[in-house]
Amino acid sequence: MKKFTMLPLAALVVSSFAMADDIKVFKFSEDGTPTTFDPVQSGTTYANTVTTAVYDTLYEYKYLKSPFELKPNLAVDMPQVSEDGLTYTIKLKQGVKFIDDPAFEGGKGREVTADDFVYSIKRHFDVKNRSQGSWLWAGKIVGLDAWKDAGSDYAKEIEGLKALDRYTVQIKLVKPFPQLTYTLAMGYSGVVPVEAVEKYGRELSIHPVGSGPFKLVSHNSTKTVLEKNPDYRQETFDLAGAGYNEEMHGFTGIASLDGKQLPIVDRVELNWIKQASARWNSFSKGSEIVNTTLQNEQMDEVLASKHPVKLKPEYAEQFNFRVNPEAGLVYNFFNFDDEYFGYSDDPKTNAQNKALRCAIVKSFDWPQRISRFYLGIGEAYPGFIVPGTDGFDPNMDDSSITQDLAGAKKLLKEYGWNKQNLPVIYYPGTASTRNKQFFEQFRGNLTKIGYPKNKIKQKTFATFGDFNRDVKNSKTQLIPMGWGLDYPDAENTLQLFYGPNRSPGSNSANYNNPEFNKLYEQASVMQPSPERTALYQKMNQMVVDDCVGIGGYSRTRIRMWHKNAIMWPQRDVMGNYLKYVDIKS
Amino acid sequence: MEILKHCFRKLIYSIPLLFGVTLISFVLMVYFGPDKTYDLLGRNPTIEEINEIRHQLGYDRPFFVRYFEYVKEVLVFDFGYSDSTGEQVTSILAKTIPVSIALQLPGFILGNVLGVLLALFAAMHRSSWLDKMIMSSSVVGMSISYLIVIIATQLIFCSSYGLNLFPVYGWEVNSLPDYLYYITVPTISSVFVALGYNTRFYRAVIVEETTRDHVRTAKAFGHSANTIIFKHVLRNALVPIVTRIVFSIPFVIVGGALLLESYFGIPGVGLTAYDAITTGDLPVLKAIIVLTTLLFIVVVSLVDVLYRAVDPRISLK
């Protein structure tokens, strides 16, 4: 009899274990920490990862497609664009709902409408929201800037940003902006309900209320937990449509996801682990995080070879990996406001300054930089157009990234530079061991062309914010920085040299070449075409010829993940990828 | 009653201290702290946008206006919202301080209790090989960097290269077993580091006490070694021991173990304070400074009362 009385209890215990097994938890990790999930401030890849998981954007990138390609997300279809390229009409899916939240009447999430999208973009132009994304649309949408200047009254309509009906958005542009659709796939354009903004105010940053595949359960400085949005629209994984290629993706097991309801896992735990040793220990122990990016510290331990990248057999047995070039680049620009690096009205000084810039470019040793700091993989390329974007020319002359000490010395001598008149150069950066090493390498190379060692100094800043302040105020001679692509179009990096974008804008080099500016204005309104590609290449050659900076190089990352995890860890540009990950129980 | 009066008096005396600390720290934050503006900007900001953010952060207001606002915030204990996360500062502190206390407390208690016991043992066997061994181990403990200790203990106890018994990262504490699971290795690390300092300090205090006349007299009366150590030596050595323990409380609560928290993924106030310092999140930073000062004030009041408890000859006047 006792046996039978115990039976229900045993069944309960067993079923609870079974239920626990049914819950798929994906323990993801990244090497930085997001601070806010408000779309207007989702300026980092970490914030963007979560923002695009909890909020809906009109468009998104095809998960596996290379080069990047957009597809509709909240939108029904790709936008209808008028002949002149100035009016975009976008239909939204019907029946999509925000998650249930106390912000709504009765706590039930209401339907997402075109008004919500309009409201969400308007929020970027309300100064109190400290938008980091408003620059994407500033000066481009009819009436938006005037609306901001008039005090951002949400009740007032904007001519260029309208909800034509409950499910139709119309955007009118001041001039063609072919990159507009890309911006509508960024976390910045996440659709936010007004009720949540009114209820949570500034704390909306940690209380996201969206209609995305996940909802936020908890967040702190070390971990963010997302759970599947139970009311997420019926959406299944279309393997072919996502750009699946058996040869490239076959090893990942992604093919088994075809036709599955999205999101696939029930819960994602995002662990924000900045310390390389802790991240590696957590990853390699097997029961914690399932993915990591290989760091220099573990490289010798894990890799059997770098060219091609191969893991040692014991690691290859346990982990999958992918060699992944970043969608962005690192560079060192010269500041053209500086009297020794910039333009001068005096042709002789102008030529001397250019010679100095070019000599420094020639002194730089890219293979050495890559070997010491970037796992020894990947290759530098001439110019500043990121590989994989329109305009990148793999056959471009590579003399701008080849160390040429004799050429540099000759150039200095020819233009009258000597140990006495060479200026003191301050290499800026935040106070860290890595920056100190960057500086030492930079100085080491310069001394090889005869630059006096005592004339190359380091200028350190306590934080990146402080360094950025001096960059934005044009107070540094050099700008060693990185730039992650906002969208996969060379226009996004070529804008770094557009004169009107000068400091505090993105043109930190303060480069101002009227010919370049003219070409940029011409190309930036063109739809993709061979003519536009030719213009991009011409502009790229111009900045190389002018020795605007040392570059470029796109860091190559080795992403690793456990074999029981199904993923294709691509974080740059894309966003909204957590709905495609899976974990085998 | 006397104790209450004493505490009240101490609190009154502490007001200038609070003003002094807030003023000095505010001067340092304003003139030498990081500029948050450039963390909050987008990629292509205009000068107007920069000025607007500076205005919102209050950077464009006169120093004394900003300082008086700070004092007002201290009085009502409302520091507004974090400039980084947008979360209310008091809510951040309410979430992170308990975590730091829970993390640090076992190591703090064990580090001190074991320190006193080892010090007693060493003092009782002064100049013997046991004493030398304990002291040299203490020096080794003191000499190894905390960071190395954390990485080593993590490798030994948490990783697949070692015993793999405890978590490397995370803080999912819902029950006592969870708690023990998550704090064991951080506690081992902090005890290892604290023990060296504590043992050396406590041994010196105890040895000093053993040379006193009353101890010699007690020995002459034929008291047992245990009676001498616990009744005559330890009791009289309690004042410096209590001072050391009590004065480290604010550090335990607010200072947090930044390294422990960041390497073990524990969302405590140490990590929050570090992030606030490096990013220039003034609302959070101001609240943490005030909290630390208040804790010191409480500790200073408390330590006098404790002195009286361990040695009734000490007057509170």
Per domain, the residue ranges of chain A are 19-268+565-583, 328-554
Residue B151 in contact with residue B263, Cβ under 8 Å? yes
Query: Would you put residue A117 in left (φ > 0), alpha (ψ -120 to 50) or beta?
Result: alpha
ipTM of this predicted structure:
0.89
Question: For residues A207, A209, A210 and A214, what is the CA-based torsion angle, rounded to 10 degrees?
Answer: 60
At residue A569 the predicted structure's pLDDT band, cuts being 50, 70 and 90, is: low
Beta carbons within 10 angstroms of residue A526's beta carbon: 16
Q: What is the pLDDT of residue A277?
A: 92
Mean pLDDT, rounded, for A327-346: 96
Q: What is the pLDDT of residue A570?
A: 73
Q: What is the pLDDT of residue B250?
A: 81
At residue A585 the predicted structure's pLDDT band, cuts being 50, 70 and 90, is: confident
Per residue in A404-414, pLDDT tens?
999 999 999 99
Residues across chain B = 317
Q: If contacts are CB pairs under 8 Å, which of residues 544-573 in chain A contact chain B? A: none
B54 interface with A at CB cutoff 8 Å: no
Nearest by Cα to B302 from B253, B255, B245: B245
Mean pLDDT, rounded, for A447-452: 97
Query: Would you put residue A95 in left (φ > 0), alpha (ψ -120 to 50) or beta?
Result: left
Residue A377 in contact with residue A370, Cβ under 8 Å? yes
A204 interaction partners in chain B (CB closer than 8 Å): 86
| A536 membership: H or E segment, kind and range | helix A530-545
Q: Is the pLDDT of residue A316 over 70?
A: yes
Residue A235 in contact with residue A266, Cβ under 8 Å? no
Q: Which residue of B has its CA nearest to A285?
A: B160
d(CA B179, CA A88): 55
Q: What is the pLDDT of residue A157?
A: 96
Q: Which residue of B has its CA nearest to A40?
A: B42
Q: What is the pLDDT of residue A335?
A: 98
Q: Is the pLDDT of residue B70 over 50?
A: yes
At residue B315 the predicted structure's pLDDT band, cuts being 50, 70 and 90, is: low
Q: Is the pLDDT of residue A290 over 70?
A: yes
d(CA B192, CA B140): 10
B283 interface with A at CB cutoff 8 Å: no
| A30 membership: H or E segment, kind and range | strand A25-30
Within 8 A by CB and 6+ apart from A99, the residues are A109, A209, A210, A211, A215, A229, A231
- Report the percent of chain A where pLDDT is more than 70: 96
How many contacts does A have with B, using Cβ atoms within 8 A?
151
A413 interface with B at CB cutoff 8 Å: no
At residue A19 the predicted structure's pLDDT band, cuts being 50, 70 and 90, is: very low
Q: Is the pLDDT of residue A16 over 70?
A: no
Residue B238 in contact with residue B311, Cβ under 8 Å? yes
Domain A19-268+565-583 class, CATH top level: alpha beta
Q: What is the pLDDT of residue B317?
A: 58
d(CA A370, CA A433): 17
CA dist B49 → A132, A151, A463, B96, B304 (Å):
10, 14, 21, 33, 53
User: What is the CATH number that goes with domain A328-554?
Assistant: 3.10.105.10
Q: What is the pLDDT of residue A282?
A: 96
Higher pLDDT: A430 or B296? It is: A430
Query: Do A19-268+565-583 and A328-554 come out as alike in CATH topology?
Result: no
A463 interface with B at CB cutoff 8 Å: yes
Q: What is the pLDDT of residue A11?
A: 46
A501 interaction partners in chain B (CB closer than 8 Å): 44
Q: Is the pLDDT of residue A15 over 60?
A: no
Q: Is the pLDDT of residue A17 over 70?
A: no
Tell me if residue A310 falls in helix, strand or coil.
Answer: strand
Largest CA distance in chain B: 85
A504 interface with B at CB cutoff 8 Å: yes
Q: What is the pLDDT of residue B316?
A: 61
Within 8 A by CB and 6+ apart from A262, the residues are A213, A232, A235, A236, A237, A579, A580
A288 interface with B at CB cutoff 8 Å: yes
- Report the percent of chain B where pLDDT is more than 90: 61
Q: Which residue of A has its CA nearest to B44?
A: A505
Choose the weakest-confidence range: A56-60, A195-199, B281-285: B281-285
Mean pLDDT, rounded, for B114-128: 92
The pLDDT mean for chain A works out to 94
Q: Is the pLDDT of residue A296 over 50?
A: yes
Per residue in A480-529, pLDDT tens?
999 999 999 999 999 999 999 999 999 999 999 999 999 999 999 999 99
Tell me how many helices (H) and strands (E) chain B has: 15, 0
Higher pLDDT: A375 or B184? It is: B184
Phi, psi of A186 (to 5 degrees): -85, 155
Q: Are strands A425-430 and A456-461 parallel, antiparallel or unpaired?
A: parallel
Q: Do A466 and B35 touch (CB under 8 A)?
A: yes
Residue A378 in contact with residue A555, Cβ under 8 Å? yes
Per residue in A238-248, pLDDT tens?
999 999 999 99
A179 interface with B at CB cutoff 8 Å: no
Nearest by Cα to A161 from A183, A178, A145: A145
Residue from A275, A493, A503, A520 to probe the interface with B (highest B Cβ count within 10 Å): A275
Within 8 A by CB and 6+ apart from B130, the residues are B121, B122
Higher pLDDT: A20 or B257? It is: B257
Q: What letter would DSSP give residue A567? A: -
CA dist A407 → A91, A355, A356, A414, B81 (Å):
58, 11, 12, 10, 56
Amino acid letter, A409: K
CA dist A328 → A12, A325, A331, A399, A504 (Å):
53, 8, 10, 21, 20
pTM, rounded to two decimals: 0.91
Q: What is the pLDDT of residue A67?
A: 87
Q: Is the pLDDT of residue B58 over 90?
A: yes
Per residue in A145-187, pLDDT tens?
999 999 999 999 999 999 999 999 999 999 999 999 999 999 9
Q: Do B41 and A504 touch (CB under 8 A)?
A: yes
- B85: distance to nearest CA of chain A, Å? 5
A464 interface with B at CB cutoff 8 Å: yes
d(CA A506, CA A472): 8
Q: Is the pLDDT of residue B234 over 80?
A: yes
Q: Is the pLDDT of residue B272 over 60?
A: yes
B173 interface with A at CB cutoff 8 Å: no
Upstream peptide bond of A504 is cis (omega within 30 degrees of 0): yes
Q: Taking chain A, what is the end-to-end CA distance rounded to the nearest angstrom?
A: 36
